[in-house]
Amino acid sequence: MSNTILSSNANSSLINTLLGSESVKNPNIYSTEEITPPYAATWQRCDPTTGDALAGRTQVFNVMKYGYLQQALLCWEKEFTVAVAPNQTKKLSSANDVIRCIDNIELMASGRVVSTLNADDLYAQFSDLSEADSIPVRASALDARTVSVPPAADGGVAITKKTEKYCLPIVFPQFESVDTQLNCQFLEGISFRVKWGKIDNFDGTDATAAAIPANSMYMRFRYKAFPEEQVSEVLSANFDQPELAQLTSRWYSEAPISFTTGAAETTKDVTVELKNTDCVQDLFAMGYVAAAAEAYVPQRITNIKLEASGQTIFEMSEEELLYARLGEHGWSCSQSVDASGGASRVAKIQNGLYTWYKLSNTMSLRELNAPKVVVSFADLAVNTTYVCRVSEKCSAIFSTTSATGRYNVALSN
């Protein structure tokens, strides 16, 4: 039968044209694909150089002068006051409590801020993850927390305190590509500065108080280190010129817009004027209750529109937004299917294709006249103050001075 198929193929003009193409490669001809030189992967704990976590206080975490920084995790504990008797389950915190805990996180080089992620930028990142990528983030950070005590017959004993641990991935755009990971051994001193937000939130249904214990905050860094001959090869290839320029991204947050619903008002159209002039890859819009003591729950968005220079550049309804994340294969990629924390209610305007490993498109806002985003909210509570935020992922070129290892933003538009 295979001979019949092959004979038929031999008489096909299309197949013969394909066989004559330079792109044809038989996968059964063995060849070694591109591989990375073996390296040493290490994980190190980093304690803050300054005080405890208090609302509005900053803490600095200094990165070692060692290898390439591949991953950064921010970890802390939170102690809840709650009375739980045997055979009971009580609520401790609402979903997304960690987003209220963080005000912003800054990536610094020799004490200079080179990139910033605020709480809304972090949530925009998490909302854009696929189901598989979002599972560890939900489990270690975003999910609501509860506590259960077994029945007394099984050894359950009443408690009044419960400590929960949180682990939040801090992914600056430099970490999204192997090409742009920070060479901490060569660069000037790299550090992270964390500014804490509302750290004492709790679910008032059962818990009565919450606090972050002293000295429970730390960061866990993953480094990779090459042998000396590979290090020399990298340095000679990357720094043979006065400066190394690397294309990556950074985040920008527009000024928040506060609005209050009326006595019978459950829908609202909110306009956010875009002041940023950078080249934008993606825009994310969200809205939530303004009071920091309330749970961070994004509100339902029924329509989003981008206007500039008298034209409507982008407009999508709630249903159409499900297809906003267009992939390279022509199909749209889904967000996490778990909507308990409201991540699926973050609206995304995607200029390129859904990909993490390369730049597929970017749009300069510099020459656009009066650009603005109009967000339509629904299912709002009456007589309540909300905040609408727009976060933008922007293209940027970072440069490293070959002589000194100085690292900074070289060009953003």
Which tens digits make up the pLDDT trace of 314-348?
999 999 998 989 998 899 887 765 555 678 899 99
Total domain count for the chain?
1
Identify the domain containing residue 260 by its residue range.
Answer: 40-411
**pLDDT at position 140, please?**
95
> Does 15 fall in a domain?
no
126, exposed or middle or buried, with CB in 10 Å at 0-12, 13-18, 19+? buried
CA angle 133, 143, 382 (to 5 degrees): 115
How distant is the alpha carbon of residue 126 from its chain centre?
A: 5
For the segment 120-136, the average pLDDT, to the nearest whole number, is 91
> Does 338 fall in a domain?
yes
% helix / strand / coil in the chain, to the nearest 5?
Answer: 15, 40, 40
> Does 264 fall in a domain?
yes
> Does 161 fall in a domain?
yes
CB 192 within 8 A of CB 105: yes
DSSP category for residue 369: S
> Does 17 fall in a domain?
no
For the segment 242-269, the average pLDDT, to the nearest whole number, is 94
The overall average pLDDT reported for the chain is: 91
For the segment 268-281, the average pLDDT, to the nearest whole number, is 95
> Does 320 fall in a domain?
yes
> Does 32 fall in a domain?
no
Q: Which residue has the tokens 């730049």?
A: 359
257, exposed or middle or buried, with CB in 10 Å at 0-12, 13-18, 19+? middle
What's the pTM value of the predicted model, to 2 decimals? 0.92
How distant is the alpha carbon of residue 19 from its chain centre?
A: 44
**pLDDT at position 342, please?**
77
Q: Where residue 329 sits, what CATH number does that domain have?
A: 2.70.9.10
> Does 118 fall in a domain?
yes
Question: CB under 8 Å to 61, separation ≥6 — which residues?
Answer: 46, 47, 48, 49, 191, 192, 193, 194, 218, 219
pLDDT at 174 over 90: yes
How far is 118 from 228, CA to CA, in rounded Å?
38
pLDDT, tens digit (0-9, with 9 covering 90-100), for 209-224: 999 998 899 999 999 9
**pLDDT at position 1, please?**
56
Give 225's pLDDT tier (boundaries 50, 70, 90): very high
Question: CB under 8 Å to 281, separation ≥6 — which residues?
Answer: 249, 351, 352, 359, 361, 362, 363, 393, 394, 395
Name the nearest CA neighbour of 388 among 252, 258, 197, 254: 258
**pLDDT at position 181, please?**
94
